[in-house]
């Protein structure tokens, strides 16, 4: 059996549309991909919608980009397999039903959680917490657990919207002001938690079209991941750069880096390695939703080993403003946190218990 036959057999074992690229052309595809009009010989550059520049520089990591397949846009994850072969895995449409169920479940759970959090916020000031270490610790546990649940429900609620191709609510936004505010708030919490934080913003400001809530949550998700896999005392770096037609958000940690097993399922929903006993891995929605936010903004998401160790995530967005007719005016959106501190909610899974004392949330 020659290498081509082995590659075709490998693709046929995959339970999702997949194809292999060598020297810029599709060399083989499994039945699911062929059914979507992705024949061998197709030049990959002709079907790339986003990720042109990122694909050129893809190394030992994973890249998510957008393809034009049979006249529609499809999200795909790309991995460099060696021997000049790149593996493209398309999203499975059958997962959308599961995502919708998650979204509906979150809507039902949000109301009782909000009632619990509101009652707790009214009850705790009536207790003499500062004179009772035990009560203080229990109250902090309730607070942190509630914030973590609020974040999880936010991810679940957004799953159906993000992954069904929702149209982003893009507004004209100052790049420096938007990311500067996030970095300031997140940086204060990260340093209080015992890490160091370094942020870099472009020297020259730029106006871009952003869906602010979606981009904020995507940014916090990358910062949360960096914290989760970094040892206490290490540095988290967040930088925003402008490169030609792209704005790049880079988040770098100095943790253990990407394990080979993790790379294989990094962008696949509900699938993750190591097994679920590793509590650092969630339900598998954070990165898929972050990549969708990038796609909504004409960009892509790449995750790979950092030059100095650890993991680097690079989220790109198209710096060009969309046509005026597709930009939305600022509107009154429902705050998914119930007007609570967004940075505390989004980083709640990685912050220490003492940061959720009742008086620290006031």
The string of DSSP letters for 24-65 reads TEEEEE-HHHHTTT--TT-BGGGTBSS-HHHHHT--SEEEEE
The pLDDT value recorded for residue 57 is 85
List the beta bridge partners of residue 76. 65, 90
3-state helix, strand, coil in the chain (%, to 5): 45, 20, 35
Q: Is 350 helix (H, G, I), strand (E, B) or coil?
A: coil
Q: 187-194: long-range contacts at Cβ-Cβ below 8 A with a sequence spacing of 24 or more?
A: 189/343, 189/344, 189/347, 189/351, 189/355, 190/223, 190/227, 190/236, 190/347, 192/351, 192/355, 193/227, 193/232, 193/350, 193/351, 193/352, 193/355, 194/232, 194/233, 194/352
What confidence score (pLDDT) does residue 266 get?
Answer: 52
Distance, in Å, from the CA atom of 247 to the CA atom of 253, rounded to the nearest integer, reads 20
Closest Cα to residue 91, out of 166, 32, 24, 46? Answer: 32
Residue with tokens 């710096």: 319
pLDDT of residue 339: 84
Predicted local confidence at residue 271, as pLDDT: 45
How distant is the alpha carbon of residue 259 from its chain centre?
18
Tens digit of each residue's pLDDT, the chain (362 residues): 577 878 888 888 888 889 999 999 999 999 888 777 788 899 999 999 999 988 988 887 889 999 998 888 888 999 988 888 999 998 766 566 677 788 888 888 988 999 999 999 898 888 888 888 898 899 999 999 999 999 999 888 877 666 565 677 889 999 999 999 999 999 999 999 999 999 999 988 999 999 999 999 999 999 999 999 899 999 999 999 999 889 999 999 987 655 554 555 555 544 444 444 445 555 567 888 898 899 989 999 999 887 777 889 999 999 887 765 555 555 546 678 888 899 999 999 999 999 998 656 65
- Given the structure tokens 């449409």, which residue do they identify? 93
- Quote the CA–CA distance of 6 and 28 in Å, as a whole number: 11
Name 186's Cβ contacts closer than 8 Å, sequence gap at least 6. 197, 220, 223, 238, 343, 347
| Dist. CA 184–CA 341, nearest whole Å | 13
| CA distance to 72, 74, 75, 114, 219, per residue, from 163 (Å) | 14, 11, 10, 25, 18
Q: Which residue has the tokens 């679920």?
A: 276
Decide if 200 contacts 162 (C-beta within 8 A): no
- The DSSP string of 196-245 is EEEEE--SS--EEEE-HHHHHHHHHHHHHHHHHTS-TT-EEEEEEEEETT
Helix residue spans in 90-205 (DSSP H) = 95-123, 133-162, 175-192
**Of 211, 226, 173, nearest to 293 (Cα)?**
211
Structure token pair of residue 308: 């100095």
């Amino acid at each position: 059996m020659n290498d081509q036959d082995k590659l075709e057999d490998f693709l046929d074992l995959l339970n999702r549309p997949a194809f292999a690229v060598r020297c810029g052309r599709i060399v083989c595809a499994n039945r699911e991909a062929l059914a979507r009009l992705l024949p061998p010989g197709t030049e990959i550059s002709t079907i790339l919608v986003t990720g042109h520049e990122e694909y050129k520089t893809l190394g030992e990591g994973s890249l998510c980009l957008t393809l034009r397949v049979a006249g529609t846009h499809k999200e795909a994850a790309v991995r460099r397999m060696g021997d000049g072969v790149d593996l493209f895995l398309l999203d499975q449409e059958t997962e959308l039903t599961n995502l919708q169920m998650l979204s509906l479940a979150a809507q039902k759970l949000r109301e009782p959680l909000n009632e619990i959090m509101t009652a707790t916020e009214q009850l705790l000031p009536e207790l003499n917490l500062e004179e009772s270490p035990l009560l203080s610790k229990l109250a902090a546990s309730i607070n942190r657990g509630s914030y973590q649940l609020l974040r999880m429900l936010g991810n679940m609620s957004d799953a159906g919207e993000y992954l069904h191709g929702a149209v982003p609510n893009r507004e004209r936004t100052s790049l420096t002001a938007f990311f500067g505010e996030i970095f300031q708030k997140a940086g204060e919490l990260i340093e209080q938690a015992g890490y160091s934080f370094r942020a870099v913003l472009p020297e020259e400001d730029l106006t871009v079209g952003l869906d602010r809530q979606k981009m904020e949550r995507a940014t916090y998700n990358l910062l949360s991941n960096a914290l989760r896999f970094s040892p206490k005392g290490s540095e988290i770096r967040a930088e925003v750069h402008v490169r030609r037609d792209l704005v790049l958000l880079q988040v770098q940690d100095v943790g253990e880096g990407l394990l080979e097993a993790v790379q294989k399922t990094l962008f696949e929903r509900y699938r993750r390695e190591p097994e679920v006993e590793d509590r650092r891995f969630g339900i598998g929605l954070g990165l898929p939703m972050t990549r969708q936010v990038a796609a909504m903004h004409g960009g892509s998401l790449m995750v790979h080993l950092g030059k100095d160790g650890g993991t680097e995530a690079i989220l790109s967005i198209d710096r060009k403003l969309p046509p005026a007719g597709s930009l939305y005016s600022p509107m009154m959106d429902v705050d998914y946190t119930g007007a609570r501190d967004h940075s505390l909610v989004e980083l709640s899974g990685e912050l220490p218990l003492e940061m959720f004392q009742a008086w620290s949330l006031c």
